[in-house]
Amino acid sequence: MKHGSSAGENRVLAEGKYLRLVNRGGWEFVERRNVTGIVGIVAVTDSGNMVLVEQYRPAVGVRVIELPAGLAGDVAGAEGEALAEAAKRELLEETGYEARSMEYLCEGSASAGLSNEIITLFRATGLKKTAAGGGDGSEDIAVHEIPLGRVARWVAEQAKVGKGVDLKVWAGLYFTQTRSAT
């Protein structure tokens, strides 16, 4: 996932199964291996509940409240998977909701000083609960459906009891109140 102009070639410093630490022009950062994109999904049910997920994140050592999200192109045989299709797949896998459609909202850097990741946010519409959710076999995901009018207060309550909150939740809440990024 390369974006923008480069100031020199990447020099690989370390490489794991999923991540690569590189140096470009004296700056060290992380790249994901074997993915073509990252998606986040702003999902609101017809009854007005925002669908959020919660899972333990070893990097921060706590359970974190997040938008449903995931990787594109990381499934063998589907390396060319479109971002909107990845968003539909991840939403179903993590929450049990199928979406009739995915509307592109925006894209941006997750942490420009640390990673080259670009996250693309989609709005899921026409939600229908068809499975339990909870992630794939390697994940332990709890699904929360919070009335839109209570999301900000609920997220703050979760933070007070020691859970992490991914900043994309706040971006998602913004997009529940607007039609598009422009």
The residues annotated with a catalytic role in the active site are 139
CA torsion sign, 126 to 132 to 136 to 141?
A: positive
CA distances from 77 to 34, 35, 157 (A): 12, 12, 42
CA 35 remoteness from chain centre: 13
Strand ranges in 45-160 using DSSP code E only, listed in sequence order? 49-57, 62-66, 69-72, 97-109, 118-129, 142-147
- 3's CB contacts (< 8 A; 6+ apart) are 116, 118
